[in-house]
Amino acid sequence: MDSVFRFFSTSLREIKRFFALAKPSPYRRALREGKLINLYKNPFRRVLRFRGLDFPVAMTPAAYQQFVAVVDTPAHRQLNEADRWHKVIAALIDYHQNSEVTSAEFEVKVVDPDGVLRNKMIKVVVTDHAPGVDGMVFMLPEEDNPVSQR
């Protein structure tokens, strides 16, 4: 009888653990609700790996539009999203070469649709993307972190 009880209690613990892990994290919920764009997929993930970074990264739609998206204008015809994303990551690495980033605002040189190269501020925050997995969320400085919102 004791072994049956041990088996049942162990199984019950495993079931609880499974459902705790299966519960969507705030990060996954924000992705599903469209508050974040997943940049942890190719071609963006190749840029991360090229720079020696391999962890989940996301960006708010407003920041994506300003820093990564390519629009159909003469100034953007020679650009692609992966190259624009690479400039954001390079600026982050240049800004924080020898320190750990938990939250930062830094400048990125961006070619706007009118063809003018401008310095724009972007904010990055380290968040919990899943239990035990940290990642980064990029956003405009005036935006709140969608992962921490309820």
| Each residue's pLDDT tens digit, 56-104 | 889 999 999 999 988 888 877 788 888 888 888 888 877 766 556 678 8
Instruction: Look at residue 74 and tell me if it is in a domain.
Output: yes
Instruction: Look at residue 120 and tell me if it is in a domain.
Output: yes
State the residue for tokens 């380290």.
126
Starting from the edge strand earliest in sequence, which strands make up the sheet with 37-38, in order? 37-38, 57-59, 133-139, 117-130, 103-111
pLDDT for 91-128, tens place per residue? 887 776 655 667 888 899 998 888 889 999 999 988 87
Domain carrying residue 40: 25-139
Instruction: Look at residue 145 and tell me if it is in a domain.
Output: no
Instruction: Look at residue 78 and tell me if it is in a domain.
Output: yes
Instruction: Look at residue 30 and tell me if it is in a domain.
Output: yes
Structurally, how many domains does the chain consist of? 1
